[in-house]
Structure 1
C-alpha cells in the first residue's frame, strides 16, 4: 500500500505541476442559498481575479460577481489559490454560461427546476479508479439535476496532489450540475503524532452552504431544492446526544415546512443499518442519538456510504421493520481503490431487501409531493440500465404514520 501511494504521489505531483497553470481548473459548482450557485476553481496564477462572469447565452456575460480565495498547506504541500464566487439570483431550470477569472474556457451549467419532478444522482466513495470512471460515465448518461455524495471523495489520504487529480477528474460533471457533498473517513487526513488540522483540504476545496442553514461546521448542513429538504450529516463530527451537531439537527428538523418541502432526505457516510461484514457497528453512536429525531420528523429516505457495496433496506426504526421509519440505502459503491465489500452476513436480515457487491450509482426521481422512484445501476452493465428499483411513498402523507 505504501509503495502504491508513493507512486501515485509522484505521478500526480508531476501532473499537477504540469497542468495547474494560469487557466481555471477543477471547476465545480454547488447550491448556495436560494437561487444562488457557488463556483469554485483553482489556478496557479495568483494574479487571477476572483470574478465569475455569466449569462444565459454562449459568450454573452451580462452579469458578474466577485468572491475571494483561500489556500492551505499540509505537510509540505501548498495548494494553489482556491477561488470561491457565489453568483445569482438565478432563474430555475435555466442554462447558464460562465467563465472564471475573466478569461479562459467557457463552462455551462443548468439550475434545478422550480417544481417537481427533480432527479438526484447519488453515489458515495468515488475515489479515482477505472471503476470511478465507469461510474461517472454512467451518471453522465443521466438527465439529473443535482449530484449528492455521502462522503468518500478523492481518497487522497494525506497525498494532497490526489485532491488536484480528483478535481480534474470530476470537473466535466461537477462544473455542469451542482455537487452537494459531506465528509467521510478518507477526508479526515489526520496523521498520528504529527499535528495536522483535520479536514483541512476538504473544507478548503469543497465549501458547502453550512452557514445558511445555521450550522457552525462545514461537516454538516442542510439545504432546500425543488420541494426537498436535504440534510447532510457529519459522521466524523461529534454526533452524540446534545453535541453541537445533535442540537443543530434537532433545530433544523423542527423548522422544516412539509407544505413547502414535503420530502426530507438525509445523507451521511457511516451507515446505521448494514448487513455487510465491513464496518459493522460504526454508526451505532450516531444512530442511538439521532434516529429518534429522524423518526419523529418522518424522514423519508436515508443514504449512506462507507461500505463498498449496494444495499437497500425496508423502512426501519430501532432495528425493526417499521412502516413509519426511514427507508435506508447504502450506496458506497462509486469506485473505491480499496475494492468491494464482498462479505455479507448470512442469513440476510428481514429488513435487508436487496444487496450486491458491485460498483454502481443510484438515481432518485421525485415526481410529486407523494411519490418518488429509486433505481440502482451497476457498472458491469455497458449502459446505465436498472438493476434494482422501488417506488417510495412520502411519509408525511401516510395516514398510518400520524403523530
Structure 2
C-alpha cells in the first residue's frame, strides 16, 4: 500500500465514528479538470469528515486508486451548509467507465470519461430549476448518450433560499454524478443584498467549483476548458466584462492560446443572449455583445449558447447584427424547466437572421462528428419521448480559408461530406 493510500485509509478510519446520516454523501456531481482529470464534489452534514475518493474500473468495490481533496462550508444568515467536498481524481483513461466512492462510505457511483477522439456529444440547456418540466428534461437527457453537459446559467433558482440548493443538488445527482457538468452563472445565482451581503455568488462558488485556475482565470465566474477537440469559453455576464476588466483581459489571452489544429471547434457559453427576437429580456445582452463580440469574431468562434430567455431560438451566422459567413451561430436554450414559465412572445415580423424559434421546454444536442462537421438539434419535451426539431449540420470555421485569422491556421484536411449520402448542407 502506497503512502497516499495509507493516509487515505487512516482518514477513512477516523470517519467511521460519524453517524450514518451525517457521513452519507449527497448532491454528488462531477466536472472536468484538464484533459484527464475529473473533480468529484459532494456534501456531508458532518463537516469533519475526510475529503477522499476511492476509484477504479471494477464494479465490485475493489478500488485501485484514491485521492485526497479539500472541503469548505459557508454561512448565509441562519443557514449553515454542510461540508462541501472537492476531490480531483486522475489521470483517467478516455472513454472509460469508472466506479467511485465518496468519503469512504455510502453508495458506489460510476462516471464515464469523454473520448479522446471524435465523435463527442454535448447536452446543452439552461434555466433548469426544480419543476416537473425540469425532471422531464433530465429524463430525456439521460436517455441520450452524451459525454458532457453544458449549463449556461440559472441552475437551481435558489436565489437566496439556501435549502433550494440542497434539493436541487439531490435532484440532479443521478445525472450529474455520471457525466461532467460544466456550468456558468445566471441571474438566479446572484445573492447580493445591499449593505448586508456583498459576496453575490457564495453558494454557487462553494458548491459548483469549475476549473478556472487551469485556464489562467482568477474567477470561478469565467473560465475555459478543452475536451476532445473543442475549446469552450464559459463567460460570466454577472461580473465585469468591459474592456480592461479582468474577464476581458483573460479572454484576450485565452483566445491567443487556442490552437485550431488541436481544437478545431470553439464554442462560447454565457447566460444572457446577445441575439434574440423574443420580447423577454429584450436588449439585455447588448452591452456585453458590444464589449466582447469583436474578440469572439476574431477568434472565429463557431457557436454561442445562452439561456435566460425561456425559449429556443437559432440564428444564422452573424456579426454586429448583420449576416456574416465568418460569424458565430447564436442559440438560445433557456427552456430547461424554469418555474417562471416560458417566454411566449416573439417580436414580429421575424428577423431574417433568426432561422428557427419556439417557446418550449427541452434540451439541445450537439454531436461533433469530426474536425469539420457537427449536427445540432433541439429536443422538445413530450409525454413519452422528446421530439427533435430544427436539425442542422454545422461546418467548423477552422476549415474556411476565407475566414482564416492570425489566431489559427485552417485545417488542411478536406471537408468530409460523408453525411446524408454526401448531401451535407452545413452552415
Query: Same fold by TM-score, threshold 0.5 exceeded?
Result: yes
| Pair 1:99-2:139 in alignment | no
Return the alpha-carbon distance in structure 2 between the equivalents of residues 362 and 133 of structure 1.
15
Q: Aligned residue for 2:241?
A: 239
Query: Does the 8 Å CA contact 1:135/1:379 hold for their aligned counterparts?
Result: yes
Q: CA deviation at 1:279?
A: 0.7
TM-score (norm 2): 0.89
Contact 1:92 1:112 in 2 (8 A): yes
Distance (Å, rounded) in 1 between the aligned partners of 2:353 and 2:275: 9
Q: How far 1:48 moved relative to its partner?
A: 2.0
Alpha-carbon displacement from aligned partner over 1:111-147 (angstroms, at most 9, x marks no partner): 0000000000000000000100010000010100000
Deviation for aligned residue 1:285: 1.3
Q: Is the contact made by 1:264 and 1:301 (CA closer than 8 Å) also made in structure 2?
A: yes
Give the SS at the match of 2:200. coil
The equivalent of 2:43 in structure 1 is: 42
TM norm structure 1:
0.94
Point out where structure 2 has 5 or more consecutive residues left out of the alignment: 1-19, 406-427
Instruction: Please give the secondary structure, in 2, of the residue aligned with 1:266.
Output: strand
d(CA) in 2 for partners of 1:244 and 1:319? 26
* Range with greater deviation from structure 2 (20-29 or 159-168): 20-29
SS in 1 for 2:23: coil
Offset of residue 193 of structure 1:
4.3
Alpha-carbon distance in structure 2 between the residues aligned to 1:309 and 1:20: 40
Asked if 1:186 is matched to 2:188, the reply is yes
**1:135 pairs with 2:137:** yes
Shift of 1:281: 1.3
Match for residue 309 of structure 1 among 308, 311, 329 = 311
2:364 aligned to which of 339, 362, 365: 362
CA distance in 2, matches of 1:164, 1:20: 15
Find the counterpart in structure 2 of residue 116 from structure 1.
118
Tell me how far 1:381 sits from its aligned partner: 5.2
Contact residue 32 and residue 38 of structure 1 kept, 8 A: yes
Task: Give 3-state SS (helix, strand or coil) of 2:388's partner.
Answer: coil
Aligned residue number for residue 282 of structure 1: 284
Given the superposition, is the C-alpha separation of residues 67 and 48 from structure 1 closer, same or farther in structure 2, using an over 3 Å criterion?
same
Unaligned runs of 5+ in 1: 1-18
Give secondary structure in 1 for the equivalent of 2:341: coil
Which residue in the other structure is 2:171 paired with? 169
What's the offset of the Cα at 1:382? Answer: 2.3
Partner of 2:207: 205
Deviations 1:46-87 (A, max 9, x none): 342110000001112000000010000112111000001000
* Offset of residue 20 of structure 1: 6.7
| Cα distance in 1 between the residues matched to 2:210 and 2:21 | 23
Secondary structure of the structure 2 residue equivalent to 1:386: strand
Higher Cα Rg: structure 1 or 2? 2
Superposed displacement of residue 380, structure 1: 2.8
- Select which of 64, 79, 82 maps to 2:81: 79
1:121–1:363 contact (8 Å) kept in structure 2:
yes
Q: Could you say what secondary structure the match of 1:163 adopts? A: helix
8 A Cα contact 1:74 1:196, kept in partner: no
Equivalent pair of 2:48/2:83 in contact (CA under 8 Å): no
* Mapped contact 1:141–1:384 kept (Cα < 8 A): no
Q: Distance in 2 between matches of 1:294 and 1:390?
A: 22
Cα gap change, 1:369 to 1:381, in 2 (>3 Å): farther
Equivalent residue in structure 2 for 1:70, among 69, 72, 76? 72
Cα offsets for 1:293-339 (capped at 9, x unmatched): 11111100000000000001100000011111000000011011111
Q: Could you tell me how far 1:195 is from its partner in structure 2?
A: 2.5
Measured after TM superposition, the shift of residue 22 of structure 1 is: 2.2
1:239–1:285 Cα contact (<8 Å) kept: no
SS of equivalent residue, structure 1 residue 399: coil
Q: CA deviation at 1:275?
A: 0.3
Provide the residue aligned with 1:396 in structure 2.
Answer: 398
Larger CA deviation: 112-121 vs 379-388: 379-388
**Deviation at 1:192?**
3.8
Q: Distance in 2 between matches of 1:144 and 1:384?
A: 15
